[in-house]
Structure 1
Amino acid sequence: MSPELSAEESGRMDHRRVIEALTGLLLAMLTAFLSSTIVSNALPTIIRDLHGSQRQYTWVITAALLASTASTPIWGKLSDLVSKKLLVQLAIGVFTLGSVLAGFAHSMDVLIAWRVVQGLGLGGLQSLVVIVIAAMISPRERGRYSGPIAAVMSVATVAGPLLGGVIVDTSWLGWRWCFFVCVPLAIVSLLVVQRTLNLPVVRRKVRIDYLGATLITAGVSVLLIWVTLAGGEFAWGSGTSFALAGGGVVLLALAVWVESRAAEPIIPLRLFADRTTALATVASIAVGTALFGGAVFLGQYFQIARGYSPTAAGLLTLPMIVGSALSATLSGILITRLGRWKVFLVAGSALMVAGFGLLGTIDHTTNMVLLGGFLFVLGVGMGMTMQNLVLAVQNTVAPSDLGAASSAVAFFRSLGGTVGVSVLGAILASRVTTLTTQGLADAGVTGSGGAGIGSLDQLPPFVGDIVRAAYGDATATILLVAAVLSVVTVACIVAIKEVPLRTQSGAQRQAAEQEAAPAAV
């Protein structure tokens, strides 16, 4: 008979200890989400100050997304093998370093490079926080804590653009503080995590699939670079384009071959034999493409097309954030009470389609109250979909695969988001050029529509108005594309089979699995 395990060893945590540990995790999550959103409203100012282009505007976002996407499965797999607490602290440290260095950048290329470092830490924070919460709290009880989690996400999503706008609008601060401001918060979260987070460490031989990790990272990076640069730096049908696309596919094919033979694969292929995980993965790609790709350009729409200040642009996203916070909190409470989750996922994904569809009708003169209503609908859909999609997967997989499965969903959502930002950014740039050329021709001016954000202040007033109107009208195009992509999410979620929510936390299930293993031998 095995000795009785302590609370820490078994993963049992009472409500007080869960709240204490959640405090540090939510601070880390707040830091991660703030860093993701704080730049959005500051980007037009950064681009003008550093004399950047529309393509570099996209790359500032894409660089961090690419790094976080490529590193997410590695962080997730490591969480199944070594101390989750140590990994969270390491991710915070990497993120803080990247933030400080990005704040000192004096050119667009240097800024993009340090955004990569920031993205590596960001990938760890975004995946590890979800994994640790799953380890502490059972799927059935997680809804009880959805309120604080949703509140932090909502506050960060609102506070990020708003804080970024205030910083940019404050002459004695400047846009560099958009990167510096997250550093103190990251340090505080590091100290709180050290004191409050105590989870059992997996005691088994650590075998990390370095070759698989390298191939996955290289393959994803090459494909994302191809998607981002094709059509701008080189033609889609050029030799460079085919070389990058082919190279990315070959690297990922090799990664699949290596992963199928590795003792501890970074992304265990057996996960996708499960119907829920496979469908949730496809849904995550679609939702990531739609959400990241569509929402990232809303700040640009408010500032460039409508002429609002960065601070006002942040405030104008409030309807979406309020809708997301309310729906995430209420759906979490109802899921805990009812033990049912699929109906909320279906409703949420359907509302996302409706929200993006409505936003696809806007132009540079749309009534702002009406636009706020469209954003609220989208926010309600987001709140019910994002967290609960991960919950469905965590409820299904084996405890030893909890980290890998959670990070796989986050990985493919970020992958979709990165592709979405790149592709939709390219569509936006192309559409703006077409509309600007057309607008100049209608005004009797001979020329092309090559004017972008970086040169907007140097244009004659009437030409600037034409460019701003082009940005406003072109934004509707990418939001319609996001609506179509969201339909894929609805179809996948409808096909997922609902499984009753488990009542044990991930740490409890893993402890039970380890205790049963010797008996099985």
Structure 2
Amino acid sequence: MTTPVLSAEESGRMDHRRVVEALTGLLLAMLTAFLSSTIVSNALPTIIRDLHGSQRQYTWVITAALLASTASTPIWGKLSDLVSKKLLVQLAIGVFTAGSVLAGLAGSVDMLIVWRVVQGLGLGGLQSLVVIVIAAMISPRERGRYSGPIAAVMSVATVAGPLLGGVIVDTSWLGWRWCFFVCVPLAVVSAVVVQRTLNLPVVKRKVRIDYLGAALITAGVSDLLIWVTLAGSEFAWGSGTSFALVGTGVVLLALAVWVESRAAEPMIPLRLFRDRTTALATLASVAVGTALFGGAVFLGQYFQIARGHSPTAAGLLTLPMIIGSVLSSTLSGILITRLGRWKAFLVAGSALMVAGFGLLGTIDHSTDLALMGVFLFVLGAGMGMTMQNLVLAVQNTVAPSDLGAASSTVAFFRSLGGTVGVSVLGAILASRVTALTTQGLAAQGIPVAPGGAGIGSLDQLPPFVADIVRAAYGDATATILLVAAVLSLVTVAAIVAIREVPLRTQSGLQRQAAEAELATG
């Protein structure tokens, strides 16, 4: 009896050509996802002015998508362990595309926020599934070989997003709505390429989806994030509403833990946190997300409002950070593959993040832009060495059947940190801007109404008053970047405590096949 010859996909041993073909569609999907995340940043001041929005809504347009992607990430990840990864990638692309079209058609900031939630649901799927599929195809040891293209796509999207958003806003015959429409063709192309190139085996086993656990996790996380976002502006931190939201969120998450501990197929397997690497990487990811999302979101606002640059120029001014990220990610990936060691790069990357944010915490409204470029390069170098390698460390240690859940758990807590970071740092920024504006105007003998001057009224202010407000934004941005530096210290401490495990040489598919063969005896 002859042994049947298995295809590359069936055996889990995909050659370089097949991996590159499959990566093409995945990286297109990743490019689309990251573009949608960053393209809004430089266009947002214009969008808020156009739709007569407020500073609170400014933050919510970003937070809504982050909230939806955060809450849905563990669900997408767990489903990838149960059903076809290819089908899930295509579904995520479809949801994202629908959300993008509807967001572009929004007639008010409130409707824009609603459609950003839909966009965020698809975004959560794309961001987690791409990493999971790559782990299934490529061994941890070999992944560094492909980290260059992956980092390049992420970095190009990070710089191209704000830059493209700025160009669109600055082009009169396009308008800000094309910031959402422009991602639709890319999403369609990526769906077609994924259909033709991504062929992974589907694990044939009985599927049990933990719907109750998913609902409780989503509701609990959403409840607490709504509290973090609205407290201090819509209601006081110590008010009855605040206590009610916190109490409800804690109860829902406590119930989620109870349900997850008893579910046959939990959305977030609690056993994952018994592994030291996963637990510490999760803690590090929370701090990374808080610092990076919270700090980076407001850099576009700094360059436009505090420094008076156009959206296009604001995008170009972030280039040093992107160059640093691409160089450090590519170089560290090559060295990790060659040496089989990863912890030193994580420690160095997290230390550079602290240094970058610390240096940016010294800026004000008149800091030399060349010097800021150096600071941004340092931050970018730290980002490039830290973000992907944290996920790599976890994927290298968990069982193959938990690969999707573990990968999405790290992404979930990073997004959670990012959502909290945007909300909390946004509240700190708004409070600091109000205080500095009030001080500046009082020094000129001008009485200030409660609340101060915001984005919506800046263009209507007399020039000398607008200068005071711009200076306030510039000086306040340094405060939140300094807070981000302090939070980044948590990442350093967590990474230092991680125990280094040699990188595996089998892909996720190969490990799953070996695990299944062992189980059947």
Q: Distance between the aligned counterparts of 2:7 and 2:178, measured in 1?
A: 45
> Would the aligned equivalents of 2:336 and 2:342 in 1 still touch at CA under 8 Å?
yes
Are the structure 2 counterparts of residues 91 and 486 from structure 1 closer, same or farther at C-alpha, using a change threshold of 3 Å? same
Q: 2:493 aligns with which of 491, 494, 498?
A: 491
1:76 positional shift = 0.0
Give the conservation status (yes or no) of the 8 Å contact 2:8–2:15.
Answer: no
Q: Distance in 1 between matches of 2:433 and 2:288?
A: 25
Is the 8 Å Cα contact of residues 72 and 407 (structure 1) preserved in structure 2? yes
- Give the aligned partner of residue 343 of structure 1: 344
1:420 is aligned to 421
How many Å apart are 1:353 and its aligned residue?
Answer: 0.2
Deviations 1:124-153 (A, max 9, x none): 000000000000000000000011101101
Q: 1:371 offset after TM fit, Å?
A: 0.5
Tell me how far apart the structure 2 counterparts of residues 4 and 342 of structure 1 sit (CA, whole Å).
39
Task: Give the conservation status (yes or no) of the 8 Å contact 1:284–1:412.
Answer: yes
- Cα deviation, 1:236-285, whole Å, max 9, x if unaligned, reads 11000000011000000000000000000000000000000000000000
* 1:459 to partner: Cα distance: 1.5
User: Percent of pairs identical after alignment?
Assistant: 90
Query: For 1:442-498, what per-residue CA distance to the aligned partner results, in whole angstroms no more than 9, with x for missing partners?
Result: 011054452111111111221111111100000000000000000000000000000
Deviates more, 1:198-207 or 1:438-447: 438-447
CA contact (8 A) 2:38 2:158 kept: yes
Rounded to whole Å, the distance in 1 between the matches of 2:209 and 2:452 is 48
* Contact persistence 2:93–2:187 (CA under 8 A): yes
Structure 2 CA distance for aligned equivalents of residues 418 and 45 of structure 1: 22
How far apart are 1:154 and its partner, in Å?
A: 0.9
Deviations 1:332-372 (A, max 9, x none): 00000000000000000000000000000000000000000
TM-score, with normalisation over the residues of structure 2? 0.98
Aligned to 1:171: 172
Is the 1:437–1:449 Cα contact (8 Å) retained in structure 2?
no
C-alpha separation in 1, matches of 2:327 and 2:414 = 22
Deviation at 1:7, TM superposition (A): 2.3
8 Å CA contact 2:356–2:378 kept in 1: the answer is yes
Query: Which whole-Å CA distance do the structure 1 matches of 2:237 and 2:443 have between them?
Result: 30
Question: Which stretches in structure 1 are left out of the alignment for 5+ residues?
Answer: none
Aligned residues of 1:435 and 1:449 also touching (Cα < 8 A): no
1:382-440, CA deviations, whole angstroms, 9 ceiling, x for partnerless residues?
A: 00000000000000000000000000000000000000000000000000010011011
Q: How far off is 1:82 after superposition?
A: 0.2
Distance 1:6 1:168 in 2: 49
Partner of 1:468: 470
Q: Is the 8 A contact 2:159 2:322 kept in 1?
A: yes
For residue 140 of structure 2, give the secondary structure of its aligned residue in structure 1.
coil
DSSP 3-state at the match of 1:140: helix
Q: Quick check: 1:303–1:310 contact (8 Å CA) kept in 2?
A: yes
Q: Deviations over 1:138-196 (max 9, x none)?
A: 00000000111011011101100000000000000000000000000000000000000
Question: In the TM superposition, what is the alpha-carbon distance from 1:3 to its structure 2 partner?
Answer: 5.7
Match of 1:65 in 2: 66
Contact in 1 for aligned 2:95/2:121 (Cα 8 Å): yes
Separation of aligned partners in 2, 1:30 and 1:333? 22
Does the CA contact (< 8 Å) of 1:169 and 1:310 recur in 2? yes
Matches within 5 A, 1:174-193: 174-193=175-194
2:159 & 2:170 partners in 1: Cα distance? 17
Instruction: Tell me how far apart the structure 2 counterparts of residues 442 and 181 of structure 1 sit (CA, whole Å).
Output: 46
Q: In the alignment, which residue of structure 1 is the partner of 2:455?
A: 453
- The CA distance in 2 between the partners of 1:180 and 1:520, in whole Å, is 50
Gaps of 5+ in 2: none
The answer (yes or no) to whether the contact 1:436–1:448 under 8 Å persists in 2 is: no
Match of 1:513 among 498, 509, 515: 515
SS at match of 2:366: coil
* Contact 2:165 2:312 (8 Å CA) reproduced: yes
Check conservation: 1:399, 1:506, Cα contact below 8 A.
yes
Moved more, 430-439 or 448-457: 448-457
Question: Is the partner of 1:391 in helix, strand or coil?
Answer: helix
**CA–CA distance in 1 between the matches of 2:291 and 2:502?**
29
> Is the Cα contact below 8 Å between 1:434 and 1:449 reproduced in 2?
no
Task: Tell me how far apart the structure 2 counterparts of residues 105 and 455 of structure 1 sit (CA, whole Å).
Answer: 22
Tell me by how many angstroms 1:511 deviates. Answer: 1.0
* CA drift at 1:6: 3.4
Q: Say whether the 8 Å CA contact 1:436–1:449 is kept in structure 2.
A: no
**Aligned residue runs from structure 1 range 210-289, under 5 A:** 210-289=211-290
Secondary structure class of the residue paired with 2:263: coil
How much does 1:88 deviate?
0.2
Distance 2:81 2:419 in 1: 26
Distance 2:143 2:105 in 1: 40
Q: Compute the displacement of 1:5 (Å).
A: 4.0
TM-score scaled by length of structure 1:
0.98
Contact between 1:437 and 1:448, CA under 8 Å: does it hold in 2? no
Deviation at 1:27, TM superposition (A): 0.1
Give 1:10 deviation, angstroms: 2.0
Secondary structure at 1:81's aligned position in 2?
Answer: coil
Cα distance in structure 1, aligned partners of 2:7 and 2:159: 41
Partner SS state of residue 141, structure 1 = helix
Q: Which moved more, 1:450-459 or 1:31-40?
A: 450-459
Question: 1:4: how far off?
Answer: 5.8
User: How far has the Cα of 1:12 moved from its partner?
Assistant: 1.4
CA contact (8 A) 1:432 1:449 kept: no
* Contact 1:218/1:251, CA 8 A, preserved across alignment: yes
User: Does structure 2 conserve the Cα–Cα contact (< 8 Å) formed by 1:353 and 1:484?
Assistant: yes
Q: What is the Cα-based RMSD across aligned positions, in Å?
A: 0.9
